[in-house]
Structure 1
Amino acid sequence: MLVYLDQNYASRIAKYLLALPGQEAFGEVWEALLALEGRVVVPPSPFHVLELHGGYLLPTFRRMFAQVSGGFWVRPWPDVARRQVERGGLDREDFLWRRGSWDEPADLAPLWGLLDLDLEGDFYQRAAAARAWVRRRLGLGRAAEAAPFFGLLGRLVAFRSLERTREERASDLLDVVMAATVAPYARVLATDRYLREALVRVGAGVRTWSGRSGEVRTLARWLRARAG
């Protein structure tokens, strides 16, 4: 089973491991993951490296993921996207590898400007325009738009363009690219409340939990049930 903890979840677990207060619910998720040893892969990714910026949590992230990743990392997102196009489908080999590094952050430069597109029309028209823009930026042909990465990224960008009640954050681009990379492969994606809602609303097809304490404990119970 592949579980992905986004930066919010991973940081809160790291703070629990550092005995910082207020992280007890995330500690329950951590203990549940440890109980699944040998049956779960929880990989770090270049997205984690980018958001950490080499901060004080880095040593704890290293130790934490060493225990639950099985030595795997998420490949860089452009590699994942191109491998999907070449394969014409999904294969875990195109998502995970063992050559990741805590010194190699995700590079979002190819997609700078994506969230500033002046999209028009209904949800489907906006999603199609976003897909086309992304695959052109990556130098790929029209057939690339059928790959899951492009489909989900387009839907998330369209959702965001229509949902203007939430204040924009600097991490929004990272969040949508991370989700489009990870969701097609993961069984569980633990993330923040907004991205969870977006993934549900666009039909991402992955189990998602937010960082609300009630949902965190529900995730812990769900994981414990898999261990039993």
Structure 2
Amino acid sequence: MHLDQNYASRVAKHLLGLPHNEAFGVFWEAFLKGAKEGLWIAPPSPFHVLELHGGYLLPTFRRMFEEVSGGLWVRPWQEVVRRQAERRGLVLEDLLTSEGSWERPADLDPLWDLLDLELSGSFYERTEQAARFIAGRLGLGEGAFRLPFVATLSRLLAFRSLEAARRERLADLVDLVMAATVAPYADAIGTDRYLREALLRLGLHQAAYSGRDREVLAFARWLRMRRDEAERQSLS
């Protein structure tokens, strides 16, 4: 599972007793129960470190993820891409590592101008243009378009380029690279409304939930269903 910065921050604020985060309390109860039973994990990532900036939520983040990470971290995205290119497949160990630090943020410099790409044509043409740029910028060889990271990021960029009314946010680059890194591996993702819509509409994920109260509660129900299913299987 992956809880992005937005989701994890709302959980942390609930744990700190800040108002208007009650739905995240319901979610966290369900999530924590399953994590303690070994049904899922949610490792922190360098993207969390980048967006936290060492702020007041950091101590709470540390405690939260200590309970649900299984002692693992998401690898830096560059390392995930390299391992995908070497393996030409999708294996969870390419995403996760026991080495990580709250002092090492994600480095997005190699893709700093990604959102300045001027894509044109149909969705598929825009996807191909974006994939070609990403592969060239990262020095990826033949077959790069088929790498999960490149395929996911290029489709998200094409989708974004067709949203003329979308106002650019400083966090957009972080969100897109994060999603391209973790979405191919995660069973479920808690994220913001825009990224949830993009992942679902593009068929990149079936279990993506936004921070709207009804979505948060739906995520909690989904987790409880997963627990119930696991319990039935253990009894059969």
TM over 0.5: yes
Residue equivalent to 2:4: 6
In 2, Cα distance between equivalents of 1:163 and 1:12: 27
Match of 1:48 in 2: 48
Following TM superposition, by how much is the alpha carbon of 1:4 offset from its aligned partner in structure 2, in angstroms? Answer: 0.4
Q: Does 1:80 align with 2:80?
A: yes
Contact 1:189-1:206 at 8 Å conserved across structures: no
Q: Give structure 1 stretches of 5+ with no counterpart.
A: none
* CA distance in 1 between partners of 2:122 and 2:115 (Å): 16
Q: Does 1:155 align with 2:141?
A: no
Which residue identity does 1:16 align to in structure 2?
H
Distance 1:100 1:206 in 2: 28
Q: Which residue identity lines up with residue 224 of structure 1 in the other structure? A: R
Residues of 1 paired with 2:175 and 2:106: CA distance?
A: 12
Shift of 1:148: 0.9
Q: Is the 8 A contact 2:160 2:166 kept in 1?
A: no
Q: What runs of 5+ residues in structure 2 fail to find an aligned partner? A: 229-236
Deviation at 1:118, TM superposition (A): 1.1
- TM-fit CA distance, 1:181: 0.5
Which residue does 1:23 correspond to in 2?
A: 21
Q: CA deviation at 1:171?
A: 0.5
The alignment covers a number of residue pairs equal to 226
TM-score using structure 2 length:
0.94
* CA shift for structure 1 position 227: 2.0
Q: Cα deviations across residues 53-86 of structure 1 (Å, max 9, x unaligned)?
A: 0000000000000000000100000111111111
1:142-169: per-residue Cα shift (whole Å, max 9, x none)? 3222111100100000000011112110
CA RMSD, 1 decimal? 0.9
1:65 is matched with 65
Q: CA deviation at 1:206?
A: 3.9
Which residue number corresponds to residue 233 of structure 2?
none
Query: Once superposed, which parts of structure 1, at least 4 consecutive aligned residues long, lie more than 4 Å away?
Result: none
Structure 1 distance, partners of 2:12, 2:113, is 32
8 Å Cα contact 1:4-1:182 kept in structure 2: yes
Identical residues among aligned pairs (%): 62
